[in-house]
A and B are shown apart, each in its own frame.
Chain A
Amino acid sequence: MVKTKPLEKQKSPGELSDRLVSLSDFSGQAAEAYRTLRTSLLYSAVDDPPRVIVITSPGQKEGKSTTCANLAVSLAQAEKSVILIDCDLRKPVVHGIFNLRNSKGLVNALVGTDRVESLWCSPVGNLKVLTSGPVPPNPTELLGSERFSALLADLRETFDYVLIDAPPVQLVSDPAIVASQADGVILVLDAQSTRKLSAKRSMRSLEAVGAKVLGTVMNNVKPARDGTYGGYSYSYDDSDGATR
């Protein structure tokens, strides 16, 4: 029997959960950056703090889900009760980041009879994660449905923060639909790959549906060459997104 497995070629595949730097490297620069983001969010509006927050970006692979997951962990570490909903019904990844199964999730809450309490998981204390569930044929309709609005309203009562991981603004209309029902939107920009024009367009399309863009998160920023944390200079050697 000829085995075709070459032993020396084994490589350990990159785990999605390796992106949760807020858990692994608590004192590191990246985790600190996520805590700064958390603080900015907590104190961005004192009178009417945003509680249902959509996190999206103009394009793909700009760090939405990573930012979303790390922010959720940071908030949970600050003793806030947080739920993270994976509203990317086209290419869900949140379950991968938290090492969860995605056999049931948001979609089941929207089209089925499952109670949402039975669908979420709690990978970290204070943090609940509602995965996307099976990929539906009609994500936009589901997210625009009244059941989704009702679900958000329920969750708003239960949790301090509801974080929503939405698909890219430039590619589909889902995030605009979700954003219109949320308190605010955080736009993730990849300092290396997001074009200024697409950032502007994304802002415009979000504002067109009445969504309030609270602020942006500059992701994947390379530190200046002299090592100071003040200036940001970029060179041409684009590493293709060490973080997503």
Chain B
Amino acid sequence: MNRAPGGDDFILSLKSVTAVILRRFWIILLAVIFTVGLAITLSFLQTPQYEASVRMLVGQDQGITNSPTEAVGLQQLTQTMAVAADSRPVADAVIEEFNLDMSTEDFFDNLTVEQVASTQFIEISYLSPDPQEAQRIADATGEAFSQQISEVSDGSAPITAVLYERAEAPDEPVVPDFFRNGALALVFGLMLGAGMAFLLELLDDRWSSPEEAENMLDVPVFGVIPVFDMASGEDSEKIRATLDEPHPDVRREAGPALLSSASGTSDGSRPGSDGMRLPSSAGEESVIWPVGMALLDGEGRVDEADATLLGMFGRGSEEVIGRDFAGLFSHPDDAKRHRELHESLVKGEWENYSMEKRITGGDGQITWVEVTVSSLRDKVPGRPGAMVMVENISRLKQAEEAANFYGEAKRLSEDRLRTIMGNSPLSVSFFTPDGYSLSEDESWNSLWHDLWYEPGETNGESVLENERVKGVGLDRYFRQSLDSRSETVTPPLRLQSLKNRGEGENGERWLRVFIRPVTDEGGDVREVMMMFEELTDHKPGRDEGSTPGQLEAALRQREETLQKAEEKGRRLEEKLEVVSMEKMEIKRRLMQMQQDIGANRSSSDSL
């Protein structure tokens, strides 16, 4: 349907009418089916009614006259008689005769009297649910009528009404009449459907043509993009090949390999040697990661630090290794706080903490960093220390300041620090690049399982497919991280807790996820590490409860959480061990194979 330019009038052409009807054909069809169906159903519900009729011959003196003029007069007389047959005295006579339990009005409702056109006959029909009764009453009415006429008409030429044809008991009911009802419903349905089709067309809010958009918005339509399939197979290879082609100022590259699965080996007696290694950076000049990492020994001194962290400090490794981490280049206000936190960690009061602090870089610049420290105690054999992740958050701080968000942020971070003192579950899991978990079932049952799955639901589902994961957009970050081969830190994700498990306010939980793809030497993603940080308890405004009972309950709950975390840590450690053994085995076989190849080559050379 087209709109006339500059006006709202419809130009109705035969073509557009046909188009509308064809397009909404199913609406018309539905309307027809509905009305006809309704009519048929209602017909079935009706009580069957039978009709019996008698014919009366009206005459004067003798029966049928042979005089044409008289015949015309008699026909007119017949009309009068027809009215007389439909009259109260006749009705009363019949009702009295049969002792019928009905009023005169009801009787009239069932009685039809009409003159057979242009004849001296009157047809009297009676409608009744019972065919026998219909016949009897029709006959009785005829007789009563005949008698009534002979009573009122006397004299030389009395008018007579003779019962000419007696009624027969009808076989077929006249009601319901399926055919008539169906036909009526069909016509009605067609009309209704067509009406609805045009109404819908009128109300249709979608664009029928680019011209329509031009007329409505008064700006040209620059382009009409047809529906297209996303590239796949060869085409998407082509895109990626084009995108990966080196261009003069491509600046960002894939991140270096992270040997995260390496863990304690059987001989784990020498701390820091084979116990646990930091991600190996592929050369000093490689990409700067947003997160620096370090390993601390049992006394909180730096054992190892990666290039990123050194870059953040702006110092060489000789100035960092072996120094006390908490005080390392810290702003004096923060160092004390950090030391207190770390001491509690060493004492085993909690397993990890996270704080925002200021550090002074080599060039004297103050940088804001977020430090997350997880204890390795009891997790990696021979490593009593802790793992540190340092994220540069200066830009965020600056942005906050720029927007006068500073005060708010400070309050938030202080609140957060307070709550972190209590509880900060942090859990690490590994995934295949397809998003399937590499963890064992039991270890799942802790945080991850609580968060995403219904009780009893399996976890054999990819994070890319799970609806709840998608709901918070985690799959997007996962994919993004995978695509860019780089680490991604999600903003706090809010998710609705499963029923009966609401922990935070309104049953909401907050979670932050660090995603880091682990690449092998060839640059392919081997597995993906995800670290989940539970933020629910860090959200400000959570009331611990004031009465001793509530407090006790809160404390007990906290104790439970901590126990759970400890349990989880143990499982993780077991898993790490298995993975590292597997890795060693693979390495050994690889070397074996290389040696074999070398041996083969040398033997073939010698031939």
Residues of A near any B CB (own CB < 8 A): 1-6, 9-11, 13-21, 23-25, 28-30, 33-34, 36-37, 40-41, 44, 63, 67, 95-96, 98-103, 107-108, 111-112, 118, 120-125, 134-138, 141-142, 145, 186-187, 189, 191-192, 194-197, 199-200, 203, 213-223, 231-235, 239, 242-243
CB distance from A74 to the nearest CB of B (A): 10
Given the complex, which residues of B lie within 8 Å of A10, measured CB to CB? Answer: 434, 436, 462
Q: Is there an interface contact between A214 and B219, defined as CB atoms closer than 8 Å?
A: yes
CB distance from A77 to the nearest CB of B (A): 11
Contact flag A30-B226 (CB < 8 Å), given A122-B247, A122-B248 = yes
* CB contact between B236 and one of A17, A67, A215, A218 (< 8 Å): that residue: A17
Q: Is there an interface contact between A15 and B483, defined as CB atoms closer than 8 Å?
A: yes
Residue of B232, B247, B439, B578 most packed against chain A (CB within 10 A): B247
| A–B Cβ pairs within 8 angstroms, 12 of them | A5-B437, A9-B465, A23-B239, A41-B222, A103-B290, A186-B222, A197-B205, A214-B220, A216-B221, A218-B207, A234-B206, A234-B208
Q: Is there an interface contact between B225 and A20, defined as CB atoms closer than 8 Å?
A: no
Q: Is there an interface contact between B225 and A220, defined as CB atoms closer than 8 Å?
A: yes
Q: Is there an interface contact between B484 and A17, defined as CB atoms closer than 8 Å?
A: no
Interface string of B269-304 (1 = CB under 8 A from A): 000000000000000000000100000000000000
Q: Is there an interface contact between A101 and B486, defined as CB atoms closer than 8 Å?
A: yes
Contact flag A196-B216 (CB < 8 Å), given A28-B228, A233-B208, A243-B228 = yes
Q: Is there an interface contact between B240 and A99, defined as CB atoms closer than 8 Å?
A: yes
Q: Is there an interface contact between A100 and B224, defined as CB atoms closer than 8 Å?
A: no
Q: Is there an interface contact between B228 and A18, defined as CB atoms closer than 8 Å?
A: no
CB distance from A155 to the nearest CB of B (A): 15
Question: CA of A121 to CA of B484 in the docked complex: distance in angstroms?
Answer: 13
CB distance from A49 to the nearest CB of B (A): 13
Q: Is there an interface contact between B437 and A221, defined as CB atoms closer than 8 Å?
A: no
Question: CA of A133 to CA of B19 in the docked complex: distance in angstroms?
Answer: 50
Given the complex, which residues of B lie within 8 Å of A107, measured CB to CB? Answer: 395, 399
Question: CA of A199 to CA of B214 in the docked complex: distance in angstroms?
Answer: 11
* CB contact between A44 and one of B216, B222, B252, B465 (< 8 Å): that residue: B222
Question: CA of A217 to CA of B224 in the docked complex: distance in angstroms?
Answer: 6
Stretch at the interface among B125-133, B159-167, B400-408, B507-515: B400-408
Residue of B224, B251, B437, B458 most packed against chain A (CB within 10 A): B224
* CB contact between A189 and one of B213, B400, B439 (< 8 Å): that residue: B213
Contact flag A111-B228 (CB < 8 Å), given A1-B578, A10-B434, A191-B207 = no
B223 touches A (CB below 8 Å): yes
* CB nearest neighbor in A for B442: A2
B106 touches A (CB below 8 Å): no
Q: Is there an interface contact between A142 and B225, defined as CB atoms closer than 8 Å?
A: no
Q: Is there an interface contact between B230 and A215, defined as CB atoms closer than 8 Å?
A: no
* CB nearest neighbor in B for A25: B235
Question: CA of A138 to CA of B223 in the docked complex: distance in angstroms?
Answer: 34
Q: Is there an interface contact between B227 and A242, defined as CB atoms closer than 8 Å?
A: yes
The 3 closest A-B pairs by CB, nearest first: A37-B223, A30-B228, A5-B436
Given the complex, which residues of B lie within 8 Å of A187, measured CB to CB? Answer: 217, 219
CB distance from A68 to the nearest CB of B (A): 12
* CB contact between B243 and one of A4, A5, A17, A137 (< 8 Å): that residue: A17
Q: Is there an interface contact between B224 and A33, defined as CB atoms closer than 8 Å?
A: yes
Given the complex, which residues of A lie within 8 Å of B225, measured CB to CB? Answer: 30, 33-34, 37, 63, 67, 217-221, 243
Contact flag A137-B440 (CB < 8 Å), given A16-B483, A100-B252, A111-B395 = no
How big is the B interface, by class? Answer: 35 or more
Q: Is there an interface contact between B240 and A243, defined as CB atoms closer than 8 Å?
A: no
Question: CA of A86 to CA of B225 in the docked complex: distance in angstroms?
Answer: 21
B249 touches A (CB below 8 Å): yes
Question: CA of A30 to CA of B508 in the docked complex: distance in angstroms?
Answer: 43
Q: Is there an interface contact between B227 and A220, defined as CB atoms closer than 8 Å?
A: yes
Q: Is there an interface contact between A223 and B230, defined as CB atoms closer than 8 Å?
A: no
Q: Is there an interface contact between A102 and B480, defined as CB atoms closer than 8 Å?
A: yes
B471 touches A (CB below 8 Å): no
* CB nearest neighbor in A for B475: A13
Q: Is there an interface contact between B239 and A17, defined as CB atoms closer than 8 Å?
A: yes
Question: CA of A126 to CA of B599 in the docked complex: distance in angstroms?
Answer: 51
* CB nearest neighbor in A for B490: A135
Q: Is there an interface contact between A200 and B206, defined as CB atoms closer than 8 Å?
A: no
* CB contact between B227 and one of A98, A111, A118, A243 (< 8 Å): that residue: A243
Q: Is there an interface contact between A232 and B210, defined as CB atoms closer than 8 Å?
A: yes
Question: CA of A125 to CA of B247 in the docked complex: distance in angstroms?
Answer: 7
Residue of A23, A108, A135, A186 most packed against chain B (CB within 10 A): A23
CB distance from B369 to the nearest CB of A (A): 15
Question: CA of A17 to CA of B482 in the docked complex: distance in angstroms?
Answer: 13
Instruction: Tell me the chain B residues, 520-539 only, with Cβ under 8 Å from chain A.
Output: none
* CB contact between B219 and one of A196, A215, A222 (< 8 Å): that residue: A215
CB distance from B590 to the nearest CB of A (A): 21
Question: CA of A28 to CA of B462 in the docked complex: distance in angstroms?
Answer: 34
Question: CA of A221 to CA of B211 in the docked complex: distance in angstroms?
Answer: 13
Q: Is there an interface contact between A200 and B236, defined as CB atoms closer than 8 Å?
A: no
Given the complex, which residues of A lie within 8 Å of B214, measured CB to CB? Answer: 216
Question: CA of A16 to CA of B220 in the docked complex: distance in angstroms?
Answer: 29
Given the complex, which residues of A lie within 8 Å of B206, measured CB to CB? Answer: 191-192, 195-196, 234
* CB contact between B229 and one of A17, A33, A99, A242 (< 8 Å): that residue: A242
Q: Is there an interface contact between B240 and A17, defined as CB atoms closer than 8 Å?
A: yes
Given the complex, which residues of A lie within 8 Å of B396, measured CB to CB? Answer: 134, 136
B45 touches A (CB below 8 Å): no
Question: CA of A108 to CA of B395 in the docked complex: distance in angstroms?
Answer: 7
Q: Is there an interface contact between B224 and A99, defined as CB atoms closer than 8 Å?
A: no
Question: CA of A223 to CA of B225 in the docked complex: distance in angstroms?
Answer: 10
Q: Is there an interface contact between B23 and A123, defined as CB atoms closer than 8 Å?
A: no
Residue of B228, B437, B444 most packed against chain A (CB within 10 A): B228
Q: Is there an interface contact between A242 and B221, defined as CB atoms closer than 8 Å?
A: no
